[in-house]
Amino acid sequence: MRNTDVRPSLLQLLLAALLLCWATVASAQDWTYRARPGDTLWDLGARYLKANVPWQRLQAHNRIDDPYRLAPGQDLRFPISWLRVQPAPARVLALRGHAEVSDPVNGTRPLQLGMLLTIGSGVQTGDDASVTLGFADDSRLQLRENSQLLLDQLSSYGATGMVDTRIRLQRGRSSSQVTPARGPASRYIITAPTATSSVRGTLFRVNAGGGSRPASTEVVEGHVQVGNQGGQRVIDAGHASLVRAAGTAPSQPQALPPAPALLDSQLRLQPLPLLAAWQPVDGATRYRVEVVLAATPDVQLFAREVSAPQIQIDTLPPGQLRLLVRAVDADGVEGLDAARDFSVPEGLPAPLTLAPTHGQTLQQLQPRFEWAKVADATGTVLQIADNASFVQPLIEQASRSQQLRIPRPLPAGDYFWRVASLDAQGAPGRYGQALPLQLSDAPLATPLQSDKVHKGQLTLRWPADGDARHYRVQIARDAGFSHLLLDQQTDTPEVSFKRPWRGGNLYVRVQSIADDGYAGMFSTPQQIQLPCRLCYGLGAGALLLLAL
């Protein structure tokens, strides 16, 4: 993040001249202090004045006859140039994702929460990262993803509350909440490659631009002055100004895109995952979606840009949060926010799922689901939907055990299922991953094996079903099983029956029965060809088993 170009640009020279002019005006101004009971000139001088400025000069400047008697409420004027100036480092208040800081002394290192940043520090954020910096007057700046800034000036005027903050936004985007100025020396200035934005208390965003995209200043609250060598503009709340080149004056202010209208019918803020949809905004090419702390909106927890007017957010930390959605036009100007506050409870974690396995196709329409038990959970709720967003679940059923068979059959098709733990109050915690599930009404292809006839008995066997407690076997002369020769339940995967005297075709099918009594679908019928015993004698025992 080193700046290898040591030559000052025309914009920087202009900024320096602007600041020199501002400093000259400020030096001719006074900061006013209202005396409190017990104040003395020497105490005030020690607290606010530079070490080389004696309190007697303060007495003469204010034409005070008796320095031992200051009337409470009396206004005292302090020339700005006499005030003590001291460093005022910025503090990292919030950090999401990976960001780095560099300075001439310590080099480049990962940014950490609570870190103090001094003059000359550079901050750079990664692809999915944001940083919130706090300054001495409680102003805050949020640096967005893929952005870079340099802290040019971080100073405070003693205990006056006046702070001089100057930032160079070299790449990307920032959002600032600036505390109203507390005196004539208060400054908050952001310099982008093509323009400078200066304020004295407001909420605004700056886009450094780059490539084919212009730089922009977007004012949400208050007023911002934007300027370069091409000219100056004052931008009011709800408007933006574009700068396409350093030599081009800021554009006439234009209205920010309006806030999108959230669709309440498609809005689900809890339980997670969060779902939101909104009416498309004319002229919007995409939308910016953020989740922030409701009490401190400059602390960002989630950020993403989407092209469609909808989003699903799977995970968020617990707390009182705020959803923000704004339109973005073709120039990259972001509009006003649609906002909705919501809470995410601590909640119990989602149970681990056991069955069905991921993506398994079940040959039944009323399956059973199993999961692990979460500590302190009083139960579990199962949801099944025909889409992964679960806007309108087809089935939502609670269970106090670790398994549940759905209460009714579903049509064959593709579904998604998920589970959440229930706490002592019956509130669901966080839902687990939406797992795909396919239900089929096609009969099972159960391979049958047959023994030769032994003492007039014919035995059929089939592979065991791990989920079955019992089996039901049906044998008939017709493929429709309208006239049953055998309808028998067995606990083992085999059955023996008396061989019919008359030869011909027999049809066999098998049904698995679970331990909870649920009977699955019959297997695909298979055909047995029996020779005629009368034709070949009593010893004939050969048979042929055919799959239909």
Q: pLDDT at residue 202 above 60?
A: yes
**pLDDT of 455 above 70:** no
For residue 21, pLDDT over 80 is answered with no
What tokens appear for 123 in the block?
A: 């901050």
Q: Are 390 and 416 in contact (CB under 8 A)?
A: yes
- N-to-C CA span, the chain: 73
C-alpha to C-alpha distance for 441 and 524, rounded to whole angstroms: 11
Q: Is the pLDDT of residue 28 over 60?
A: no
pLDDT tens digits for range 101-115: 999 889 999 999 999
For the chain, give every residue range classified as CATH 2.60.40.10.
264-344, 353-439, 449-547
- CA-CA distances (angstroms) from residue 524 to 318, 442, 521? 51, 8, 9
Looking at the predicted structure, is the pLDDT value of residue 6 above 60? no
Question: 332: Cβ–Cβ under 8 A, 6 or more apart, which residues?
Answer: 207, 209, 213, 214, 216
Higher pLDDT, 450 or 517: 517
pLDDT of 241:
97
Averaged over 189-215, what is the pLDDT?
A: 92
**Alpha-carbon dihedral 230, 235, 239, 244, rounded to 10 degrees:** 20
The architecture that CATH gives domain 264-344 is: Sandwich (2.60)
What pLDDT band is residue 453 in, cutting at 50, 70 and 90?
A: low
To the question of domain 353-439 being in CATH 2.60.40.10, the answer is: yes
Q: Does residue 226 register a pLDDT over 50?
A: yes
- Report which DSSP code applies to 98: -
pLDDT score, position 124:
98
Which pLDDT value is given to residue 108?
96
pLDDT of 499 higher than 70: yes
DSSP letters, 122-174, are EEEE-TT-EEEEE-TTS-EEEE-TT-EEEEEEEEE-TTS--EEEEEEEEESEE
140-182 pLDDT tens trace: 999 999 999 999 999 999 889 999 999 999 999 999 999 998 8
Indicate the range of 158-167, 326-335, 462-471, 482-491 predicted with least confidence.
462-471
Q: Among 103, 190, 185, which residue's Cα sits nearest to residue 142?
A: 190
Angle of helix 41-48 relative to helix 55-62, nearest 10 degrees, comes to 110
Whether the per-residue pLDDT at 4 is higher than 80: the answer is: no
Assessment of whether the complete model's pTM goes beyond 0.75: no
Nearest Cα residue to 188 out of 199, 177, 176: 199
Q: What's the mean pLDDT when you consider all of the chain?
A: 87
Three-state DSSP class for 248? coil
Residue 17 has pLDDT above 50, yes or no: no
pLDDT score of 452: 56
pLDDT at 88: 95
Measured distance CA(134)–CA(166) in Å, rounded: 13
What is the CB neighbour count within 10 angstroms for residue 231?
Answer: 12
Tokens of 249: 């004056």
- Cβ atoms of 277 and 310 within 8 Å: the answer is yes
Average pLDDT (184-203) is 92
- Residue 261 to residue 309: CA distance in whole angstroms: 10
Report, as an integer, the average pLDDT of 448-477: 79
Tens digit of each residue's pLDDT (9 = 90 or more) over 341-396: 999 988 888 899 988 987 788 888 999 999 999 999 999 999 999 988 787 899 99
pLDDT reported for residue 548: 47
Question: Which one of 3.40.50.880, 1.25.50.10, 2.60.40.10, 2.160.20.10 gives the CATH number of domain 449-547?
Answer: 2.60.40.10
Provide Rg for the chain, Cα atoms: 38
Q: With contact defined as beta carbons under 8 Å apart, do 188 and 304 qualify?
A: no
DSSP code of residue 88: -
